[in-house]
Amino acid sequence: MTTASDRCRIALEGIVCIVVGLLALLSPDAAALAWLYLVSGFVVVSGILHMAGAIQLRKHFAGEWILIVNGALTTLFGIVMILLPLAGLLVLTSLLGAYSVFFGVLLLAVALKLRARWRTQAAARPAVTCLNSVTHWRHGQGMRVMSVPQNQRAGPKAS
């Protein structure tokens, strides 16, 4: 059962979504910049956290410098996106495009692999005809599918 606070929270979320959506529709430039600054801030914080984590991991393994360099480059990337917003938007758009192409190719490869597997399995199984898929009554035991072996059938066993 929903409570009054649940309904208020849902209504508030709906109002926020409508306002944000209208602002994005009425001012797409401002919405794109807000998105850029949000992503850039996340990237900067993420880079700093990578560096901090690498410093703490120095005791456990010797390759921490790789994580420190990764964190520094990530932080630098976020700062550049903040300082050069047009370039940042172009980079984010390019990354999104590359992501879409990569996963589109990946999904097509999976679909083709599944198709090949289905064809292989289809060739290995006998053709289903109307005669071997017809159900029938057998000795009052109920419906049976003729193509299912006796030991794999559900229900009472034939005696």
pTM of this structure: 0.54
Q: For residues 148-157, give the mean pLDDT.
A: 54
CA distances from residue 135 to 22, 52, 159 in whole angstroms, order as listed? 59, 68, 19
The verdict on residue 120 lying in a domain is no
pLDDT digits (tens, 9 = 90+) for 49-80: 999 988 888 888 777 888 899 999 999 999 99
Q: For residues 116-141, give the mean pLDDT.
A: 57
Q: Which position has the token pair 């192409």? A: 101
- How many independent structural domains does the chain possess? 1
State the residue range of the domain holding 63: 4-83
- What region does 121 belong to: left with phi over 0, alpha with psi -120 to 50, or beta? alpha
CA distances from residue 3 to 6, 9, 10, 12, 154 in whole angstroms, order as listed? 5, 10, 11, 14, 46
pLDDT digits (tens, 9 = 90+) for 88-105: 888 888 988 898 999 888
Question: First CA to last CA across the chain, in angstroms?
Answer: 53
Q: What pLDDT score was predicted for residue 1?
A: 58
The verdict on residue 54 lying in a domain is yes
